[in-house]
Homo-oligomer: A and B are copies of this chain.
Amino acid sequence: MSIQYAILGLLSRQPLTGYDLKKLFAEAETLYWSGNNNQIYRTLVKLHKANLVTQEVHHQEDAPARKVYTITTVGQEALLAWLQTPPELPQVRNHFMLQLTWADQLDDADLDNLLARYEEELRVKQMMIREQHQRDQSRTGNRATSRSPLLAARITERWLDYYGHELAWVQDLRRELL
């Protein structure tokens, strides 16, 4: 699949430029792309060629032109078709777990150090998601009665839950190894 449906999805809410998308990807803690230029601008060109989006160039004086992309009806249909695609299992690439798999070769101090650093990383990430969650909630007004904000809320909650459990797990393990 790839980033193209994420872009289509974002465009289905509002027209955006490549630069906007870049920022959105970079900011969103749960959208896992780095938000690098190469992919975004190339994908937009590709989507445009396939008539899934339209491009509108806004010339500005004394500033580079903004290219605003808007989803087309064809694009909407493509998005909808993708939404009905069979879901895949998450691909959890846990670099740390790999290290831990062989970490019995470390001495006690180095092992605890590894765990402690991971714990710290998790803490930071958890905090960042929590802040984003609160920002989102204050924007939507917290009433998750209709379906769309309910889904958004449950998704972020799941991410928070994930990092929370990962954190609790590593803390337990550290205590157990003392």
Contact A84 B106 (CB under 8 A): yes
User: Could you tell me the dominant secondary structure of chain A's interface residues?
Assistant: helix
In this assembly, does A60 line the interface, its C-beta being within 8 Å of a C-beta of chain B? no
Contact A9 B104 (CB under 8 A): no
Q: Which of B5, B150, B165 contacts A165 (CB 8 A)?
A: B165
Q: How far is the CA of A14 from the CA of B151 in the complex (A)?
A: 48
- Residues of B within 8 Å of A110, CB to CB, are 83-84
In this assembly, does A135 line the interface, its C-beta being within 8 Å of a C-beta of chain B? no
C-beta contact mask, A125-169 vs B, less than 8 Å → 1, else 0? 100000000000000000000011011101100100110011001
Q: Which of A101, A150, A152 has the most CB of B within 10 A?
A: A101
Q: Which of A87, A98, A158 has the most CB of B within 10 A?
A: A87
Q: How far is the CA of A114 from the CA of B81 in the complex (A)?
A: 12
In this assembly, does A63 line the interface, its C-beta being within 8 Å of a C-beta of chain B? no
A122 with B89: in contact, given A82-B99, A101-B151, A176-B150 (CB under 8 Å)? yes
Contact A92 B162 (CB under 8 A): yes
A105 with B83: in contact, given A5-B98, A98-B5, A155-B97 (CB under 8 Å)? yes
Contact A9 B98 (CB under 8 A): yes
Contact A87 B173 (CB under 8 A): no
